[in-house]
Structure formats: structure tokens, C-alpha cells
Amino acid sequence: MKFPLTRSIFFTGFMASGKSRIGSLTATSLGWKFYDTDRLVEEKTGMAIPEIFAARGEAAFRKLEVEVLREICGGAPMVASLGGGTLLNPEALELVRRHGALVGLQARPEVILERVNRKKDSRPLLAGLDDEAKLAKIRALLAERKPVYDLSDLQFESEENVPHHVITRRIIHRLQVEAMDPLWVELGERRYPIYIEEDLSDHADSIAEKMGCTAPYVLVSDQTVKAAQAPLVDRLRHALKGAPAFYWKGGETEKNLGSIQKLLTWMLRQGCSRKATLVALGGGVVGDMAGFAASIFLRGISFIQAPTTLLSMIDSSVGGKTGVNHPLGKNLIGAFHQPRAVIISLSALSTLPRGEFLAGLGEAAKYAFIHGRSETARSILGTDLLGWLEANAGALLRQEPQALKSLIRVSCAIKAEVVGDDERETAEGGRAILNYGHTFGHAFEYLAGYQMPHGLAVALGMRCAARLAARLGMLTPAEEARHDALLDALELPRVFEGPFDDEKAWEATGRDKKADTGRRVFILPQGLGSVTTVVNPPKAEVLEAFHAVTRGRA
Amino acid sequence: MKFPLTRSIFFTGFMASGKSRIGSLTATSLGWKFYDTDRLVEEKTGMAIPEIFAARGEAAFRKLEVEVLREICGGAPMVASLGGGTLLNPEALELVRRHGALVGLQARPEVILERVNRKKDSRPLLAGLDDEAKLAKIRALLAERKPVYDLSDLQFESEENVPHHVITRRIIHRLQVEAMDPLWVELGERRYPIYIEEDLSDHADSIAEKMGCTAPYVLVSDQTVKAAQAPLVDRLRHALKGAPAFYWKGGETEKNLGSIQKLLTWMLRQGCSRKATLVALGGGVVGDMAGFAASIFLRGISFIQAPTTLLSMIDSSVGGKTGVNHPLGKNLIGAFHQPRAVIISLSALSTLPRGEFLAGLGEAAKYAFIHGRSETARSILGTDLLGWLEANAGALLRQEPQALKSLIRVSCAIKAEVVGDDERETAEGGRAILNYGHTFGHAFEYLAGYQMPHGLAVALGMRCAARLAARLGMLTPAEEARHDALLDALELPRVFEGPFDDEKAWEATGRDKKADTGRRVFILPQGLGSVTTVVNPPKAEVLEAFHAVTRGRA
């Protein structure tokens, strides 16, 4: 089993809620032992429970119950079904809490009645009553025991038409999710987790439910992902209760309001209400568009990001920016809409084109340069991000899961820290350092007629920024060399291959839409691991910096 | 003057910030006296200030200063320009705070230098210095005195190219705004005021600035408003620093995503940045659309509602719902986006068609029926809303400003209370009572082929709801009569004029998009002044209730 559980599982629930059947199925699935505490007490005493009550009294019975509990808790993890009154005993409750998870099973009164009648179950509590009286009695008993069931760590409904093995799988998946250690993006009421594992497609529903998302689920993706990751798409849809799927063609050209309208129409035709949850599976474009659609559908519904590219795993997982392009510019229409969860399956990277994978590594290198020495990086990696990247470049290029997992986690954590209080990007500064490499990078994109991947343009831009910083005395030659060596180790480009022209490049640095009019704002390294803003550096120095990647220096 | 000021105004500020000139212009505008405390001390002693300092010392001067301040504060409200050190004396500061508003004037150091040089001003502090040294000295002095200027209630910049009389008008307008008593919608960080006056078009910029909005301003309205309220539109644009205006044709047919895209394109062409503020002038459709555009332009910019219909003044001022229609249904695309302020000019109602005005009164009656006995209503009206409406129906129909002002204020306050914690309409119940009259009302709209104004359909719907409540024993015959008599007094329709059919009407009550499938949910009065939810009342009773307005009973 890919996500091994290590703690025992205790089931509690009303009669006919299925706790014995589901409990034993759970045990079988996990290869664990299953116990029924009532049966254990009977075996131990050789008496039926009513006899024990009659002969020795309830206190003696509760003592026996704790004894058997203590015995089964003493060994390997197991599954136990508890008696109706077990948890009323503080000693028993304490044992359960210490040794495992308490799972409550619920069923609607009508379902309980139906099951009791079907089995011709001769429960003494309901003996001699007609259906209406039985139902009333079931309701009364459920209300009476609610405080006990509410002690559960997790509650599941044993629904009428859902087979027991399906409920069992749900319970196991949910316990596996509970045992995971996601990175939390702290946004008060809107805080959400980022789960990073090799393959989480089977667990998407459990994560969604944990975060309060509700069915119906709809999956939004694009044709590229559909073709490259068909098994993942299928398993994800299956986990999301057979979610219908909508596929864009993919790419920036359809990132516009018209495409959003198409998705909204499709969602309405699927009968989505405000309870619906949208799951975005794809790269940055899919995430931006699907997130924006979720933000304006019926004034906002829940959505989950399931990024499939390394860049989107690192970049779109944190920040809450969603939107589409306008004919007059990129990302001019949009909203801040935070996902309820981010679900990252590293297996999606297996079919990612090499250039896109490298662009993601470039983004991670950017975090190393802007904030890599932070306590956040140290607490996750045990070292600073720069040194870690140098040591793990090979493992990353080989896509070793453990290395990727650490890389994505630390990058998201740093971005969350930088974005910090500035959730809606209203403050000056703050988020601006995320634009490291962008002033030069935008110029390269412009010079290449926007035929160059953004991530690779930024990687070149960071080389220029380091060059400029070195010329301005902000970086020593050794630091600049180390900066560029890391980009080399990550196999990021060293040379701008497009047509280069000093005047056009200079002009382009003054056009960044994020810059104030007439000002050239550069984010430059101040030592390795932190950056600062430099406004209007001398033209000659800027051009020299460009030449670092245009004149065969590399 | 329409908004008379009653408290004195004290100006403080650096040399050449214009406080004497602007102070005396302010006094002239208000017909008040102007004093310069330094001059008063000189007159009183017959000595120039440096002489007083030399001969008697600073303590004596400060004492004289307080004496003259006390003298001028003793009479009618006036305008005074204070000396540079006056506020350092706690006694003087206390006098100023007690008797009026303290206005700080600021100017950029370069502007101060330019003014000082232009006037060949021989300020001793700057004597004998070259321009660079003067500028440095000005900067140092400004920094030193900042804590004093920060004591101001309001700060204004005396800009280079803005004439003094324009700054004077801004100051007076802002002081008038400060003296107004808006209704605040309490939403934590997003709390905003609703200003209700006869005509606020000249004060829109002052309200916007008070709420932290920034230029450039853009006005969004429709052709109907442009034609009917041309002078108001002109004055509003003038106040908003010559805001460019965008006009939709008007009406539901263009309430779609395509029209939003047109507005966004226009705003981009106008050079709007994220600092821009959108002002929506019009009825509910304009407010919904413009607010939605503001919510998605560059991921959200500030917007201000300036409603022009009685219904939108009451209904759209509170709740933050914005959006457009989708071919598959009304308001299916949208966002929750709270305005920074609501600016209501009652004069806009003068050209409103009678039917639309009555629809607004119907909305107010709804508040009387659902929550009219609340403490909120009493605290604003001194009585419950129902009794107040009965007593003021005539004044309202004559559009007497004082009556309208109270009506809008109390209605907005009640809506704010009902919407309450449920800002994003996530809870069940809560906001649902706002749908009083809607289940029947939607049926009338459907039967009339959607050719009937929503507000009037709801008014008929309320009559039916009262009838049904009476039949179910929730309303006494006397209460039902009083309910309907209020609607009569407000000249709301008594009879459904369209084609009526029992089966179609019954069917239509089961189709409300806000109702769960298969359930008919009616909000019915439980006594007058509060309502409750009734699910699936008997068909025969519902049909009888319809007949209250279809069978000539009225």
C-alpha cells in the first residue's frame, strides 16, 4: 500500500450502521486484525452480554471492556468495533484516543429501519414495535447518543446505495489523507493545504471533503493533459464520483472571456449549483482560467488546483491569482480566488516536455536567489535553498520524487511567505521581488516576438540581473559565478538565441506593465539569497548586463 | 449654502503652503471672519513677533497666542490660520480641538522652494542659502514638524497647478462630508458608508477620497440616465476631476459578459490602472454590471455606487452582489464585490417613471413586513416601519426629501441587518426572508411573460402571501387588512392584469431557482413585522391566495 497507515482504527456507530462489516473489511484491506469488543468480552467471560449485566452489573462489564481494549491496543495496529456504551467510560475513551483514530459511522434513521427489517434483526430495543414506532425510537436513540458519536475524529455516512467496500475505501483514503503532512498556506479563514505526493488522483475526493468541498465535482482540463495523462484523468474523475470533464484546446490563445463563457455554459448545462466544486487539472493557463470561472460562477464556487507542470506546481499553487487575457494585454481580467486545496501528483511530470520542466527549475532557482536563506527554507530542507539546489541538481534533473517533493514544498512555502500579508497585491513592494529576472526577461520575450517560453526568458533575465548587480557592486565576482553556475547545473539556457539589438532591448526594459511610467525598475541581488529594487540604473550598465547572454560569454 | 458648516476651521501648515490665502478664501466662501493668530498677537502687543520673543521670551508669546485663540474661539464660527509653533502648546491644541476642525496644508518641498523664490520671500530661516541648501533645509524642517501636522483632522496638498480657490472648495466639501451622518454598513475592513442627501454630485470626490479611493475616476452609466439627468451627470463628472464616461444602452438585454468586455476595453483604452475608481450611476442593472466589471478589472478595483432609482437605492446599496445574466438564466455570472461608498442623490428620482418609483416603495413595504419592528427601525424612525409608512405614505408619494431620506436609510439599515453575517449568502435561511412575496411574484412574472416589472409583481405577491398566511392562521383578518391597506396607500397594484391559470400558477410556484427541487418554499408573515418559512402548503390554499388578486377581490 502506497500510503501505509500506522495507527489503529476504532469504529463507533448506531446499530445497523455497518460498523462490524465495514470494520472487518477495513481490517482485511489493511492486512490487520479485526476485533469486536462485545464479542471479546463474551469470549473472555463465557457469558452473553445481557447475562454479564444481570449477574455482575454494568460497572463490572465496563471494567471487562477496558481490559479487552487494553489487550488489543497492546499489539500491532488493528481495527476494532466498539460497543454502544464503550466511549461513555473515560478510561476507554482515553485508550482509544491514545492508540488510534475514532471513526463514527452514521446512517439515516430510514436506512437503519430498512436494514433492521431486512435482516429480520431482533434487536431487543425495537422488539414488538410497528415501523412508525420503531422509527421514532431510532430517532430518539440517535439524538441521545449524538454526543458520543460526535467524539469521533471522522464521521462517515453509510448510505443506502453505496456498497460497503466503497465506504471502506473512502475511510481508508481519508485516514491516509489525515496522516499526510501538507504545506498550509495561512490565509485565516481561507487557509488551504498543498498536498504533494507521487500520485494523489485516488485521494482527490478525500482531500476535497476534508476541506468542506461538496459534490457535484466537475473536472476542467485541456486536450494536452487529456492526451498525455489519460490514466490519471480517468482515476481522478472516478475518485471525484464520476465527475464530468470539460477540456479546453490548451494554450494562451484561448485564454479569454469567450472561453470562460463556454465553460460556464457547460457547467450550467451539467446542472451545477453553488455547491459544486471545480477541479482544475493542468498547467498555469488551465489553473488561471478555471479558477477565474469558479470565482464568477454563481458569484463564486469552491475550486481545487491540481497542477500538472512543474512551473504551475510552484507558481500557481500560492497567490490566488486567476484570470484571462484581454486583446490589450495579458491577465488584465481576473479575480483573487483562493483554492480550497492544491493537489500535486508528481507523476504528472513524467510526460512534461523537457523545456517546460526546466522552466520550473528556473522558477525554483529564482526563489533561492530572492529568499533562499530564509528560516522557512532551512526548516524544510535543513539548509538554505541555494546550497540544497546545488547539491540536488542531478536528482532534480532525474525527477527523483523525494527531491521534487522537497523542491515544490520549499518553493511554495517561500512564495507564501513573500506574498504574505499582501494577499491582494495592494501594497507596494512585497510581492515585487517575485519579479526577479523579469525586467530583462520581458525584454527577451519581446525581442523573440513572444516565441520564447516565459520561464526560460526569466532564467536568462536572472543572469543579466546578476551581471548588472555585479557591475553595481552588489554582488562579488564569486557570488555572480555561483549564481550562474547554479543555473548551468539546472541546465537553464546561457545564451539568448533571438535577434538582439541594444536600442530595442533598452526600450523594452522601460515597458514592463508593472513599472511606473518612465521608470525602469530592476530587482537585483544584494548578495546571494536576497534582492533589492534598483530604479533607473545607467543605460550603459544595463546594456553590458544584456551582453552577458548575447555576446558568447557563456 | 446647502450643507452649512457650524464649527470653526483652523489651518496649520509649513511656510508657503498657502494657509493664509486658502484660509481667507475659505472664510469668504462661508461668510465667516478670518484671523491670523500671529497678526493678532502683533496687534495686541504692538510688537513684531521676533521682538516679542527677544523682549519677553517664548513662554510669554505662547501665553499671548492662547489668549488671542481664546478670544476668537469665543464668538461665531470663524477661520483661523495658526502660527508654526502654536500646536506645540497643549493648551492651544485643546482649544482648537474643542472649537473646530484642524486642517493641515501640505506642499512638496520643490513647490515650497519655487513659491518662496517666486515671491522673493525673505524667510529668515532660508536666508543666504542657495537652492540646493534651501531644499535640504525645507526637507529637514518638514520632517521635524511632521508630528505637528499629523495632528490635523484632515490634510490637503496645495499642489503646484491647482488654483487656491479649487483647493478651498475641496476643503469645504470635505468638511461638509465629515459633518454628514451616513449609514455605515458594517463589514469589518470592508465597512462602507451610505450617504443620502438631496444632491451629492458636487461631493462625490470628497466622499471617494475620504474612503481612500484614488484617481483616475471613470463614470459608468446608461443612455436613459444620461438623457434624463444630464446636469447631474455633468456635475458629477466635473467633481470627479473630469471623469470620462461610458454609457450602456440600458436594460436587461445587454446585461451580459459581452457588455462587460466592452467596458473593460474602454477602461484599458482610458489608461485605467489598478488605482482607478469606477463610479456606477444608474439603476440596478448599471450597478450590477459596473460593480462586476470593477471586481474583475485587473483583479479588482474600487467602485462607488451612485444609484438613481428608488429600488436600487434601497436594494443594491447593501449586499455586494454584482453580476450579469447568462443565456440560461438571470444573474448566473457574478461576484461579491462591496462598494467603497454609496452616494445617493434624491434629486435623481425627479425623472424616474412613476411605476419604477412605486416599485421602490413596494420594496420598502417588504422591509416593514419582514423586519419592520426591529430596534434598527425604531432607532432611526422613533417608531416601527409599518406605522411610519402608514403615516408617511402621502409624503413619500409626493417625494418629500425628508421622508425619502428616512425611508432609504431605514430600509438599507434593515437590509444590512438581515444580510448581516451572511455576506456571501452561504448560510441557509438568513437572507431568505428577503424573498418575501417572491414565490407568488415570480409566478406572476412568468404568467405575464416577464413583461411585468419585478417590483410590482412582488407587491402583488406580498398580497397573496398575506392571504395565504391568513388562511393558515398566521395572520388575523385585521392584520391582513392592515397589510393590504399599506400597499393600497402606497398605490401599489391590487389586481393581476395578465392571463391567469390555476395550473400554470401552481406549477410556477415550484420553479423558483432559489427553491430546492420539488419543494415549494413560501416566506409568509407570522403577525405583521416578521416572517417565517412555510414549505409545501396545500395546493388549494395556495390557489385561494392567488385568487386574492385575480378575482376582483380588491
List pLDDT tens digits, range A270-288: 999 999 999 999 999 999 9
The tens place of each residue's pLDDT in chain B, 554 residues long, gives 689 999 999 999 988 888 999 999 999 999 999 999 999 999 999 999 889 989 999 899 999 999 999 999 999 999 999 988 899 899 999 999 999 999 999 998 988 888 888 876 556 677 778 888 989 989 998 898 888 889 999 999 888 788 999 999 999 999 999 999 999 999 888 999 999 999 999 999 999 999 999 999 999 999 999 999 999 999 999 999 999 999 999 888 999 999 999 999 999 999 999 999 999 999 999 999 999 999 999 999 999 999 999 999 998 889 899 999 999 988 999 999 999 999 999 999 999 999 999 999 999 999 999 988 889 999 999 999 999 999 999 999 999 999 999 999 999 999 998 887 666 666 555 788 899 999 999 999 999 988 888 889 999 999 999 999 999 999 999 999 999 999 999 999 999 998 999 999 999 888 755 444 567 889 999 999 999 999 999 999 999 999 999 975 44
A300 min Cα distance to partner chain B (Å): 6
User: Rounded to 5, what percent of chain A is helix, strand, coil?
Assistant: 55, 15, 30
How many A/B residue pairs have CB atoms within 8 Å? Answer: 74
> CB-side exposure of B155: number of CA atoms within 13 Å?
13
Clarify whether B134 is annotated catalytic.
no
Separation of alpha carbons A147 and A261, rounded Å: 47
Which of B269, B329, B334 comes nearest A296 by C-beta?
B334
Please, which residues 262-321 of chain B have a Cβ atom closer than 8 Å to chain A? 264-265, 268-269, 292, 295-300, 321
Do B300 and A269 count as a contact with CB atoms less than 8 A apart? Answer: no
Which residues share a beta bridge with A222?
Answer: A248
Residues from chain A that touch B329, judged by Cβ atoms under 8 A, are 268
Clarify whether B165 is annotated catalytic.
no
Q: Which pLDDT band holds residue A316 (cuts at 50, 70, 90)?
A: confident
Separation of alpha carbons B92 and B41, rounded Å: 14
Strand, helix or coil for residue B184: strand
| Closest-CA residue to A315 (of A184, A455, A221) | A455
The answer to whether B198 and B350 have CB atoms below 8 angstroms apart is no
Closest-CA residue of B relative to A295 is: B335
Which of B299, B323, B335 comes nearest A321 by C-beta?
B299
Q: Rounded to two decimals, what is the model's pTM?
A: 0.91
Clarify whether B435 is annotated catalytic.
yes
The answer to whether B187 contacts chain A (CB < 8 Å) is: no
Query: What sign does the CA torsion over A377, A383, A389, A393 have?
Result: negative
CA B405 to chain centre: 12
Across A142-152, average pLDDT: 89
**Strands across the sheet containing A34-36:** A34-36, A79-81, A8-13, A100-106, A154-157
Residues from chain B that touch A214, judged by Cβ atoms under 8 A, are none
Residues from chain B that touch A425, judged by Cβ atoms under 8 A, are 299
The answer to whether A180 contacts chain B (CB < 8 Å) is: no
Residues 6+ apart with CB under 8 A from B322: B287, B288, B289, B290, B291, B292, B294, B295, B334, B335, B336, B337
Which of A261, A332, A334 comes nearest B257 by C-beta?
A261
Instruction: Copy the grid coordinates of residue A443.
Output: 525584454
Separation of alpha carbons A201 and A239, rounded Å: 7
Q: Which helix (H) or strand (E) holds B372?
A: none
The answer to whether A406 and A382 have CB atoms below 8 angstroms apart is no
A309 min Cα distance to partner chain B (Å): 24
Does position A121 have pLDDT exceeding 90, yes or no?
Answer: no
Q: Which pLDDT band holds residue A152 (cuts at 50, 70, 90)?
A: very high
Radius of gyration of chain A (CA): 29
Do A299 and B326 count as a contact with CB atoms less than 8 A apart? Answer: no
Residues from chain B that touch A257, judged by Cβ atoms under 8 A, are 257, 260-261
Separation of alpha carbons A70 and A55, rounded Å: 23
Separation of alpha carbons A341 and A30, rounded Å: 27
Separation of alpha carbons B229 and B464, rounded Å: 37
Which residues share a beta bridge with A221?
Answer: A247
**Which pLDDT belongs to residue A123?**
65
Residues from chain A that touch B268, judged by Cβ atoms under 8 A, are 326, 328-329, 332
Closest-CA residue of A relative to B271 is: A328
pLDDT in tens, A20-51: 999 999 999 999 999 999 999 999 999 998 89
pLDDT in tens, A81-101: 998 889 989 999 999 999 999
User: Rounded to 5, what percent of chain B is helix, strand, coil?
Assistant: 55, 15, 30
B78 min Cα distance to partner chain A (Å): 40
The residues of A assigned a catalytic role are 299, 321, 363, 415, 425, 431, 435, 438, 442, 454
The answer to whether B247 contacts chain A (CB < 8 Å) is: no
pLDDT in tens, A46-71: 999 889 989 999 899 999 999 999 99
B19 min Cα distance to partner chain A (Å): 32
Residues from chain A that touch B292, judged by Cβ atoms under 8 A, are 296
| Closest-CA residue to B82 (of B71, B93, B74, B90) | B93
Task: Please tell me which residue, A157 or B410, carries the higher pLDDT value.
Answer: B410
Separation of alpha carbons A309 and A95, rounded Å: 45
CA B544 to chain centre: 43
The answer to whether B391 contacts chain A (CB < 8 Å) is: no
A334 min Cα distance to partner chain B (Å): 4
Separation of alpha carbons A331 and A311, rounded Å: 17
The answer to whether B212 and B360 have CB atoms below 8 angstroms apart is no
Across A309-316, average pLDDT: 93
Q: Cell 471623469 belongs to which residue?
A: B243
Taking each continuous run of H as one helix and of E as one strand, the counts in chain A are: 23, 16
**Which pLDDT belongs to residue B423?**
64
The answer to whether B488 and B538 have CB atoms below 8 angstroms apart is no
The answer to whether A101 and A10 have CB atoms below 8 angstroms apart is yes
* DSSP string for A318-346: SS-EEEEEETTEEEEEEEE---SEEEEEG
CB atoms within 10 A of CB B51: 12
Do B335 and A295 count as a contact with CB atoms less than 8 A apart? Answer: yes
Clarify whether B354 is annotated catalytic.
no
Q: Which residues of A51-79 are buried (b: 16+ CB within 10 A; e: fewer)?
A: ebeeeeeeeebbebbbebbeebbeeebbb
Residues 6+ apart with CB under 8 A from A298: A272, A273, A274, B332, B333, B334
Residues 6+ apart with CB under 8 A from B14: B84, B105, B106, B107, B112, B138, B141, B142, B145, B149
Do A425 and B299 count as a contact with CB atoms less than 8 A apart? Answer: yes
Burial of A193 (0-12, 13-18, 19+ CB in 10 A): buried
Separation of alpha carbons A387 and A377, rounded Å: 11
Closest-CA residue of A relative to B270 is: A328
| Closest-CA residue to B492 (of B453, B451, B446) | B453
The answer to whether B547 contacts chain A (CB < 8 Å) is: no
> CB-side exposure of B524: number of CA atoms within 13 Å?
27
Separation of alpha carbons A435 and B108, rounded Å: 31
Interface test with B, best of A299, A421, A424 (most B CBs within 10 A): A299
**Which pLDDT belongs to residue A515?**
44
Q: Which helix (H) or strand (E) holds B413?
A: helix B401-419
Overall residue count recorded for chain B in this entry: 554
Q: Which pLDDT band holds residue A423 (cuts at 50, 70, 90)?
A: low
Do B333 and A264 count as a contact with CB atoms less than 8 A apart? Answer: yes
Separation of alpha carbons A283 and A378, rounded Å: 28
Do B268 and A326 count as a contact with CB atoms less than 8 A apart? Answer: yes
pLDDT in tens, A504-550: 999 988 875 544 456 788 999 999 999 999 999 999 999 999 999 99
Please, which residues 402-431 of chain A have a Cβ atom closer than 8 Å to chain B? 424-425
Do A268 and B424 count as a contact with CB atoms less than 8 A apart? Answer: no
Do B425 and A327 count as a contact with CB atoms less than 8 A apart? Answer: no
Radius of gyration of chain B (CA): 29
| Closest-CA residue to B387 (of B464, B531, B483, B459) | B483
Residues from chain B that touch A424, judged by Cβ atoms under 8 A, are 299-300
**Average pLDDT of chain A to the nearest whole number:** 92
Q: Which of B321, B340, B463, B467 is catalytic?
A: B321
**Which pLDDT belongs to residue B515?**
44
The answer to whether B23 and B82 have CB atoms below 8 angstroms apart is no
ipTM, two decimals, is 0.88
Strand, helix or coil for residue B281: strand
Separation of alpha carbons B21 and B165, rounded Å: 9
The answer to whether A434 and A370 have CB atoms below 8 angstroms apart is yes
Separation of alpha carbons A73 and A75, rounded Å: 6
CB atoms within 10 A of CB B537: 18
Which residues share a beta bridge with A217?
Answer: A277
| Closest-CA residue to B111 (of B149, B158, B143) | B158
| Closest-CA residue to A341 (of A505, A200, A147, A545) | A200
Q: Which of B254, B390, B423, B425 is catalytic?
A: B425
Burial of A544 (0-12, 13-18, 19+ CB in 10 A): middle
| Closest-CA residue to B291 (of B256, B321, B330, B261) | B321
